[in-house]
Amino acid sequence: MGKKRKGNDEGGFLFIFIILLIIVALVAPILIIVTFIYHTLMAAKIKKRLSGTMSDFWLNESEKKLFKQNTQNLAEVTNIIEQAIQSGLKAGISVNLDGAFSARSNLGKEIRLTLEKYEPMKDNLILNLSSLIDLPIKRWAVFNSHIENGRSLIMAFIAWLSSWLYFFLKSGKKNFMEILNPYIGMITNIFRGQDKQISITSNDYVNIGITTLIVIATYFISSIFFGNSGENYSPKPEKVSEENVDLY
């Protein structure tokens, strides 16, 4: 009983895998072309304003101003928190199990109120600064993604054409449309009458499966190879700091 159920599960997974493979095989060429056009247009739009320097994706003037203000505010808030903690320690105020100062004395209550007010402010300032610190890198990463995907999709499309050319030459068929017939058949046979079905052989399914796997593998390998292609047009920015915020 257990072996039969295991066999059914394996058969079910295989069936699902084949269905997914067929779906990917059918949409792959169209998806490659559409997404390639999208990434190419988006990359071209960004390229127009690039100078090839670190300033390409750097903070603008209002963002620099906000970064400096948040940095200053963080220093002030941190100082207030540290002074409150030090005053509590010097006064010998006891600390509860949760790490908070005891509120049994007036000074303890004052310190707790100070910490309750300024610690959330500190957390928000750190969060805001973190987003500004990484903002140039994130902007560059979006551009780099368009370049990387555009090039990887070209390679995937070349892999798709090359695979079908190989199967065309290997099969000895008379014209290239005969190679595409299985694709057409998988899409249109469900709408055709029994006498008008396009013939699809087991070899056709094997060829489609192999081609699809080659396309997928080519795309991911190319993505690794072209991982930092954006640097050919603009250098990857540094993290923003007090030292470099006004350099670019």
Q: Does 132 map to a domain?
A: yes
Look at residue 184 in the predicted model and tell me its pLDDT: 75
The maximal CA–CA distance of the chain, rounded, in angstroms, is 95
How is 82-134 classified by DSSP, letter by letter? HHHHHHHHHTT--B-TTSPBP-SSHHHHHHHHHHHHHHHHHHHHHHHHHHHHH
Look at residue 8 in the predicted model and tell me its pLDDT: 53
Number of domains in the chain: 1
Look at residue 106 in the predicted model and tell me its pLDDT: 82
Q: Does 46 map to a domain?
A: yes
Please tell me the distance from the alpha carbon of residue 134 to that of residue 219, in angstroms, as a whole number. Answer: 28
Q: Does 248 map to a domain?
A: no
Query: Rounded to a whole number, what is the distance in angstroms from the first to the last CA of the chain?
Result: 71
Look at residue 10 in the predicted model and tell me its pLDDT: 55
- Residues contacting 47, CB < 8 A, separation 6+: 233
Vertex 38, ends 36 and 40: CA angle to 5°? 65
> pLDDT (tens digit, 0 to 9) for every residue of the chain, 248 residues total?
554 455 555 556 666 765 666 666 667 788 899 999 999 999 999 999 999 999 999 999 999 999 999 999 999 999 999 998 898 788 788 778 777 777 778 887 888 889 989 999 999 999 999 999 999 999 999 999 999 999 999 999 999 889 888 887 787 767 767 767 777 777 677 777 777 787 777 777 788 788 888 999 999 999 999 999 999 999 999 999 999 999 99
Q: Does 146 map to a domain?
A: yes
Please tell me the distance from the alpha carbon of residue 188 to that of residue 197, in angstroms, as a whole number. Answer: 8
Q: Does 6 map to a domain?
A: no
Q: Does 17 map to a domain?
A: no
Look at residue 134 in the predicted model and tell me its pLDDT: 97
Q: Does 1 map to a domain?
A: no
Range of the domain at 204: 28-232
- Residues contacting 185, CB < 8 A, separation 6+: 197, 198, 199, 200
Q: Does 10 map to a domain?
A: no
Look at residue 27 in the predicted model and tell me its pLDDT: 74
